[in-house]
Amino acid sequence: MLVNHGEIISGKLTLLPDDIRKTWSAFKFYSLLILILAIASYSAFKYGNQHYAKQQNEIEMLQHTMSNLDAENQRLTQRLNVLGVELEVQRLAALNLQNSISEGLQRETQLQQEISFYQRVMAPELKQEGFVIEAFDIAPSVSERGFRYELVLMQQDKIKNVVKGTIEVTLIGSEQGKPKRYALPSLVEAESDPLTFSFKYFQVINGEFILPEGFAPEKIQVKAEVFQFRRKRGDLERTFDWQIEQIPIIE
């Protein structure tokens, strides 16, 4: 019986040398292929591990950065809260200070009124046998640097007789950094008679004047020469602070 490239001996197939060479070549090829696949698999596994390790390092760095940013954000938030509390405390302190100043000014005004009352009662230089320079009020007029004034004189005796006399009004302040005084008649546009009074109970003297340019008034000094029954009762002097009323003076 004929077969290609071999013959049957004792019931087995015997390979010829050509077949052996072909079989060995195929074995080497597949062995080489397996080796290449093994190397490729190992390289891929190693590269994958390295890439994974690199990614893990990057993830750890990012997590560390996120932790630092989160801690910094918490610190800034706490600082912002502290600053907000400090700002609120300062605002409340400023408000309390403003209220204290306002209350202090009110108390000062009340004390000045009380002092003025007791001075009129007790101080001889502010009271001449019942004659009192009660008030000197000032309000702006329509003229530039113009003002209207109202001087109130009165008697406080139970038995009142007519008193007469003259009044001197002087504005005290500063001009060009130096002390300066102006007599009221010199600040009136038209010539005017000296200020005089004659009353039994009270009298209101009013008029207008214009401040000189550059003059800053601070005080108003009022002097009165008092006569009764053609006899001089004495002199009276009182100084007022320069305070502008916001309401017009009633004539």
* 166, 225 Cβ separation under 8 angstroms: yes
Judge whether residue 158 has pLDDT over 70. no
C-alpha 203/C-alpha 201 separation (Å) is 7
Q: How far is CA 155 from CA 62, 152, 202, 207, 240, in A?
A: 92, 11, 6, 22, 19
Helix or strand run (H / E) with residue 230:
none
Residue 191: per-residue pLDDT: 66
* 37, 45 Cβ separation under 8 angstroms: no
Q: What mean pLDDT value characterizes the chain?
A: 79
What is the CB neighbour count within 10 angstroms for residue 166?
Answer: 13
- Of residues 233 and 152, the one with the higher pLDDT is 152
pTM over 0.85: no
Confidence of residue 131 (pLDDT cuts 50, 70, 90): confident
Q: Which amino acid belongs to residue 62?
A: L
For residue 207, report the phi and psi dihedrals to the nearest 5 degrees: 180, -170
Confidence of residue 21 (pLDDT cuts 50, 70, 90): low
**3-state class (DSSP) for residue 38:** helix
Confidence of residue 12 (pLDDT cuts 50, 70, 90): very low
Confidence of residue 120 (pLDDT cuts 50, 70, 90): low
Q: What is the pLDDT of residues 190-227, one digit of tens each?
A: 766 778 999 888 899 999 999 999 999 999 999 999 88
Judge whether residue 248 has pLDDT over 80. no
